[in-house]
Structure 1
Amino acid sequence: MAKANEKLNRIHIALLIYMIELDVTVFALPRLVAKNIGTNGWVGLLALTCVACFNIWLFQIVYRMGKGQSFFQIVEAVVPKWCAYPFYLVLTVFWIAIGSFIGKDFILIFQTLTFQSSSSMMIFSLYCLMVYVLLVKDIYSILKAVTLFFLMTASVNLLAPFFFQDWKLIRFTTSLFQGTEGGHTLHGWTEVYTVFVGYELCLFLFPYVDKKSKLFQGMYTGQLLIGLVQQLAVWVSFGFFSFPELKVLAYPVIHTLEYIEFPFINRVENLVFPFFLFSNLVSTVLFAFAGLSCLKQMFPQARPKLLELFIVIAIFGLGYIPKLLREAEALVFHSFFVEIGVAFVLPLLLMVLLQIGKLRKKGVKA
């Protein structure tokens, strides 16, 4: 158990941001960049990283304006509970659904690689069991597990030098943002931006930090760290495959792993791919944690572990919706599109509520 005065530190927060964003979307990232941004799309990806940092800055403004108040304190200081609770419920259902779709999408990809004859829901049930084991822990214990998972997942980046023999800089070409499918559109760039979804959950870390925690320093560090890994994935794929190939390969990151050969391992991708289980597990757990925070606010007297059990059962039940890989992928991207809107609207909404609360206090004093 965590000590009462224990607070999160910026290193744990940075690793958390890294792990949340390293979900199933990273497998398709080079294809998304090639299809929607075009040649030398890494430049556009860098610009989108700056957009993500801007969004984090909006949350930083909320934290400063609210002087560290939690999401619920800010909302309920202005909005009556009978109006706030339905809002919490909608967010809860949505975030639980996102966590479920992320997990099911990963399991379906994993199944196609290793367990073609096994039931996807049977494998998903084991995934949900791991979610429950983490979800019943406090946030401090979850972050300790995240640190361990990070060390295991980050080791995959050490495989990058194995691609140098077949990697060609000339494949990048000298053109910029050319060869997209259907030109440059907001929808296309937003599709690439889905790889950044997850940092907005920092909103629920406000009660667990203080000034010494340096929450946002950790968030910016984590965002830049995952940005470097995303750039590495794009650079390796753009120099390894031709541009036309990138636009048709479903998961370029997985396909690159298939080319690695060791004398003592037959299929390296089967050994490496399970490491991504941990990052997707963290994504599901943190979306579930956000939903759990909302439920605990609505049902503070609920029995211990009952809400956690309810959430995991809901995650498993929602896993029945996508039966095919393309269905799961579509649900993930559609959900992420909405979540991007939530990530930008929430801090703006909270700023408005904080300003209203400030004006009310001035009116009372007057």
Structure 2
Amino acid sequence: MISKINNANILSLNQFIFIIHGAQVGTGILFLPRTLAEKTGTDGWLVLPFCFVFSTIASIAWVQVAKRYQIHFTKGSNNKMIEYTKKVLIIVYICYFSFYAWVILLNGMLYIKGNLLPKTPDYLLILLFLIPTYLVVAENVYVLGRYCEIVFYLTIWIVLLFLIPLKEGNLLNMLPVFKNGISGFLNAFPQAIFPFTGFEMVACMYPYLKRKQAAIKGVIIANSITLIFYTFMTISCYIFFSPDEITSYNQPVLSILKIIEVSFLERFDLLIITLYLFVVFTAWTPYIYASLLCISNLTKQEKKNIHIYIFFMCIILSVFLIHPSWSQVQSWKSLISHVGLGTAYIFPIFMLLVIKLRR
């Protein structure tokens, strides 16, 4: 999972933070307010801080594991059992990162197809997505970090637009608090924990971080930014829509945008949807990059264009053959969310416990 370090590929702390945050924030926020409301009503936002705590604990565990096993993953070993275990782990994470990137790509494709280009073939949209993706993943990790950082600064203002419709909302929609008790929290937790995944990028990005002693600080900041973003968007939807109304909207975040009108543009929401695609781009690109790093580790070769070409051809071919629907993508998303609980949350904590016991 951890690639060899090239002195030319160095990440600043900001770039490290925004790669993790970018991997966390994608199309999931479009559905999050509705899915939480279905499970626990307008109390759904209260579960997000608990998800933040669990994500931060797992993130810190990833930092400690990456710090401890960096040498073991970049150098060979005479112990065949260690080498075999390492290869199995790398293959598992190649599959995980690849499938996760594929699901995000499909979400983005259906999101654009449904709102902007309904008659465009699926595989053609995926091809258009992969062209700029190639320009990033074919370069070093510094380019990925710069892109994620720039996109964050250029799109952060979109969040402020959600303050405009709130004047028509009602704060009473948020009351009463804790109306569903602990059972409501437990029902909503699996739905809320999945959008925080993305911090497992630490395993691949830690070796490139210039100030490795600041890695824990970086993951805490990244998770905090994600928490603030999710909480703000979820509360905005709960204030604007009534408790019964919000569950009738598939993507309540987009429904709020349709309320915003400007005199010089008829469909202002379409402009925001187009701009938000840059944010979604920062979600699938780190996963593709991480998958390619794992492949280079497995083959003991530097990341090559042939790896990228084969990877992209598999994506395009799969979309061409399957023609995925919203229901299929949601089922795959549910599958990868359950897998992510093991690969992103449980595995690093388990490894950290192993490290502590061996001391």
TM-score by length of 1: 0.87
In structure 1, runs of 5+ residues without a counterpart are: 360-366
| SS of equivalent to 2:346 | helix
| Deviations 1:62-86, CA, capped at 9 Å, x for gaps | 245x1x7257259968743234324
Corresponding residue of 2:96? 94
Tell me by how many angstroms 1:213 deviates: 6.0
Does residue 7 of structure 2 align to residue 4 of structure 1? yes
Please give the alpha-carbon distance, in whole angstroms, between the structure 1 residues aligned to 2:299 and 2:330: 33
| Fraction of identical pairs, as percent | 16
Look up the equivalent residue of 2:18 and give its one-letter code: L
Corresponding residue of 2:46? 43
Corresponding residue of 1:219? 219
Corresponding residue of 1:117? 119
Corresponding residue of 1:279? 279
State whether residues 258 and 268 of structure 2, in contact with CA within 8 Å, keep that contact through their aligned partners in structure 1.
yes
Corresponding residue of 1:242? 242
| SS of equivalent to 2:92 | helix
Corresponding residue of 2:334? 333
Tell me by how many angstroms 1:187 deviates: 5.9
| Deviations 1:131-167, CA, capped at 9 Å, x for gaps | 2221111111111111121123212112022113212
Please give the alpha-carbon distance, in whole angstroms, between the structure 2 residues aligned to 1:229 and 1:43: 14
Alignment match of 2:130 (pick from 128, 131, 143): 128
Please give the alpha-carbon distance, in whole angstroms, between the structure 1 residues aligned to 2:292 and 2:102: 14
| SS of equivalent to 1:281 | helix
Tell me by how many angstroms 1:351 deviates: 2.9
CA RMSD of the aligned region, Å? 2.7
Shift in CA distance, 61/331, structure 1 to aligned 2, threshold 3 Å: same
State whether residues 20 and 279 of structure 1, in contact with CA within 8 Å, keep that contact through their aligned partners in structure 2.
no
Corresponding residue of 2:84? 82
Shift in CA distance, 70/161, structure 1 to aligned 2, threshold 3 Å: farther
Corresponding residue of 2:348? 347
Please give the alpha-carbon distance, in whole angstroms, between the structure 2 residues aligned to 1:70 and 1:238: 48
Of 264-273 and 186-195, deviating more is 186-195
| SS of equivalent to 1:247 | helix
In the TM superposition, what are the counterparts of 1:51-90 in structure 2 within 5 Å? 51-63=54-66, 66=68, 69=70, 72-73=73-74, 79-90=81-92
State whether residues 19 and 144 of structure 2, in contact with CA within 8 Å, keep that contact through their aligned partners in structure 1.
no
Tell me by how many angstroms 1:217 deviates: 0.9
| SS of equivalent to 2:245 | helix
Shift in CA distance, 185/151, structure 1 to aligned 2, threshold 3 Å: closer
| Deviations 1:89-134, CA, capped at 9 Å, x for gaps | 2321232121011111111121111111211221111112222221
| Deviations 1:252-287, CA, capped at 9 Å, x for gaps | 101100110111111111000122212222221111
Does residue 261 of structure 2 align to residue 261 of structure 1? yes
Q: Which has the higher helix share?
A: 2
Corresponding residue of 2:317? 317
| SS of equivalent to 1:319 | helix
Look up the equivalent residue of 1:144 and give its one-letter code: R
Of 95-104 and 76-85, deviating more is 76-85
| SS of equivalent to 2:248 | coil
State whether residues 9 and 213 of structure 1, in contact with CA within 8 Å, keep that contact through their aligned partners in structure 2.
no
| SS of equivalent to 1:33 | helix
| SS of equivalent to 2:277 | helix
| Deviations 1:46-69, CA, capped at 9 Å, x for gaps | 2211221121122233245x1x72
In the TM superposition, what are the counterparts of 1:133-148 in structure 2 within 5 Å? 133-148=135-150
Look up the equivalent residue of 1:240 and give its one-letter code: F
Runs of 4+ in 1 over 6 A off after TM superposition: none
**Number of positions where the alignment pairs a residue of Structure 1 with one of Structure 2:** 353
Please give the alpha-carbon distance, in whole angstroms, between the structure 1 residues aligned to 2:70 and 2:222: 23
In structure 2, runs of 5+ residues without a counterpart are: none
Shift in CA distance, 95/165, structure 1 to aligned 2, threshold 3 Å: same
Corresponding residue of 2:169? 167
Please give the alpha-carbon distance, in whole angstroms, between the structure 2 residues aligned to 1:179 and 1:270: 39
Tell me by how many angstroms 1:302 deviates: 6.3
State whether residues 204 and 293 of structure 1, in contact with CA within 8 Å, keep that contact through their aligned partners in structure 2.
yes
Shift in CA distance, 239/135, structure 1 to aligned 2, threshold 3 Å: same
Tell me by how many angstroms 1:344 deviates: 1.8
